[in-house]
A and B are shown apart, each in its own frame.
Chain A
């Protein structure tokens, strides 16, 4: 068995497979299906300072090889997380990462400070890329100055590993990645969902209550892969790749493109055991290719 561990800053992940935010709840919701301690990490449902009801139903549209969602960061707020969820997960042996959201820089900072107090949360993922909220969210992630501003402010109050989740809805994602790296981000995760739309031709109405939503699933994989490759060329910090991973081969493609770890998202909806299958599949791949360490695989794309 090869060594699957990988580091982001000084945080060790036992393997490079994490669940993506918004696709596994707080981990407990998939615990019937998988032993969470077999995962590299669990990135939990997007959390905000205050309770959010999210957007109105309908929030989902199935699309070719994917789906649109417009959940809008429904969550019960950080107090509920600390009181009712954290005690249940804190002794499970994996890296539980909080996905941090805000409408203003002040909210991002205040929420980060609350999470910083939790010993068993070893890292945060700063979400500057949610396409389904009216204020904040993706607005921070689509320009270099605003992305820099929020990362700078959060970095000032947080010394543990800081992962910044990037939006693909930009002209040049590598520039945004460089901007957040310049402000002290320890890693970037990409991609969040692509802004999309579905229309019911017969009723002449949009399918989603919000009209637009975020596209995920295998439909976006080639674009996500290209973006991970571009970003991995542009920054020195580790890249976490995601976008339509449905099996171990998909995950390995992201790693070859330069990702140090991957997140499994929408694929969990189809099969909640997928993350552990991907761990096993990466191990098999390393064995077949006579590699002793996962680190040898990162960015080992052979060009020319």
Chain B
């Protein structure tokens, strides 16, 4: 899977809620294969005061139309300016980057847990994991109903569960407070998660206790995205590893989290 720098054309920019946008980018030639958990590094030229590219995980891929989409959540100046791009604008992207989630076995029952912009790779994984939807459970958490994005396009990929901190959608609390999570955690063969560190650490702790396979996707600050700057390192059981090339997905057994 060769990495490239390409000028892609933005063909769609849809606002999904107050701070989430879906950007669809089209390549001039055939797309390389892109796996859930992999990311792209985007140059935001219109934000002239921003020096480095910004990494985003991939939400979906359409090989036939040579497009992939990103879920862009406004977190700072870079993401804010990116959401102002219009269809027809050209955007330089380095992709595909990193190692994605491992492929589940065909008989696995899996739990996908997403929070914040970490929802993107979970939705992508639900679509391409190749499992019977009965065995795919997707748990998404947010502050309130206004922070959730519409997942109706993915509803047939598995069974969805929601939590909000204010109880405005699904169960009230964090994802780790959800009744399904509390009662069924040990029945899953694999747990995949992407979201805020505190959320992933809480899940990793529960998964480790229950003895369930668990992969987390990290988002350490990076400069290059392809393994040369060595800035995004995470401490692992075998020393510092680059989140951009050895990850961003790690099995929790590799990490040195105090869980």
Tell whether A201 is near chain B: CB-to-CB under 8 Å.
Answer: no
**What A residues does B233 contact at CB under 8 A?**
54, 57, 59, 74
CB B24 to nearest CB in A, in angstroms, measures 23
Name the residue of chain B whose CB is nearest to the CB of A51.
B239
Q: Is A33 within 8 A of B229, CB to CB? A: no
Decide if B227 touches A65 in the complex (CB within 8 Å): no
Q: Within the assembled complex, what's the spacing in Å between the Cα atoms of A74 and B233?
A: 10
User: Is the pair B224, A62 in contact by a Cβ cutoff of 8 Å?
Assistant: no
- The distance in angstroms between the C-alpha atoms of A22 and B226, with both chains bound, is 13
A59-B50 Cα distance, complex, nearest whole Å: 18
Q: Is A174 an interface residue, CB under 8 A from the partner?
A: no
Question: Which one of A24, A53, A65, A71 lies within 8 Å of B239 (CB-CB)?
Answer: A53
Instruction: Indicate the member of B2, B51, B222, B232 with the most A CB atoms within 10 Å.
Output: B51
Contact of A69 among B2, B223, B239 (CB under 8 A): B223
Write the B85-118 contact mask toward A (1 if CB under 8 angstroms, else 0): 0000000101000000000000000000000000
Mask for A184-226, Cβ within 8 A of B = 1, else 0? 0000000000000000000000000000000001100000000
Given known contacts A33-B5, A62-B51, A64-B49, is B234 in contact with A57 (CB within 8 Å)?
yes
| Chain B CB within 8 A of A183 CB | no
Binds B, one of A87-95, A138-146, A268-276: A268-276
Instruction: Say if the beta carbon of B235 comes within 8 Å of chain A.
Output: yes
Instruction: Assess the A272–B51 pair: CB atoms within 8 A.
Output: no
CB distance from A70 to the nearest CB of B (A): 9
> Once the chains are docked, how many angstroms separate the CA of A25 from the CA of B242?
12
Q: In the complex the two chains form, what is the Cα distance from A57 to B52 in whole Å?
A: 18
User: How many CB-defined contacts (below 8 Å) exist between A and B?
Assistant: 94
Q: Do B229 and A69 touch across chains, with their CB atoms under 8 A apart? A: yes
Q: Is A66 an interface residue (CB 8 A)?
A: yes
Partner of A33, one of B4, B222, B239: B4
Chain B at the A interface: mostly helix, strand, loop or mixed? Answer: loop
Q: Do the beta carbons of B4 and A60 come within 8 Å of each other?
A: no
At the interface, yes or no: A67 with Cβ under 8 Å from chain B?
yes
Write the nearest CB–CB distance from A86 to chain B, whole angstroms. Answer: 18
With a cutoff of 8 Å between Cβ atoms, the chain A residues found around residue B240 in the complex are 53-54, 57, 74
Q: Is the CB of B234 within 8 A of A271?
A: no
CB contacts under 8 Å to A, within B198-224, are 220-224
Flag whether B3 is at the interface (Cβ < 8 A): yes
Residue B53 CB within 8 A of the other chain: yes
Partner of A58, one of B5, B49, B50, B221: B221
A71 touches B229 (CB 8 A): yes
CB B31 to nearest CB in A, in angstroms, measures 15
A contact residues around B43 at 8 Å (CB): 270-271
- B75 is an interface residue with CB less than 8 A from chain A: no
Indicate if the CB atoms of A32 and B230 lie closer than 8 Å: no
Q: Taking A33-B4, A57-B233 as contacts, is the C-beta distance between A25 and B227 under 8 angstroms?
A: yes
Docked Cα-Cα span, A54 to B94, in Å, equals: 26
Which residue of chain A is the closest to B92 with respect to CB atoms?
Answer: A271
Q: In the bound complex, what is the Cα–Cα distance between A270 and B94 (angstroms)?
A: 9
Q: Is the CB of B50 within 8 A of A29?
A: no
A30 within 8 Å of B (CB atoms): yes
Asked if A23 lies at the interface with its beta carbon under 8 angstroms from chain B, I say yes
B231 contacts A69, CB within 8 Å?
yes
| Nearest CB in chain B to that of A73: its residue | B230
Is A63 part of the binding interface, using a Cβ–Cβ cutoff of 8 Å? yes
With the chains together, A262 CA to B2 CA distance in Å? Answer: 28
19 more contacts with CB within 8 A, not counting A32-B226, A269-B224, are A22-B230, A23-B228, A25-B228, A33-B226, A45-B228, A45-B230, A53-B239, A54-B230, A57-B220, A60-B231, A62-B52, A67-B51, A67-B223, A69-B231, A71-B229, A266-B223, A268-B228, A270-B52, A272-B226
13 pairs across A/B with beta carbons < 8 Å?
Answer: A25-B227, A32-B4, A32-B226, A45-B230, A53-B239, A54-B240, A57-B232, A62-B51, A64-B51, A269-B229, A270-B43, A270-B53, A272-B5
Binding site for B on A (CB under 8 A): 22-25, 29-30, 32-33, 45, 53-54, 56-60, 62-67, 69, 71, 74, 217-218, 266, 268-273
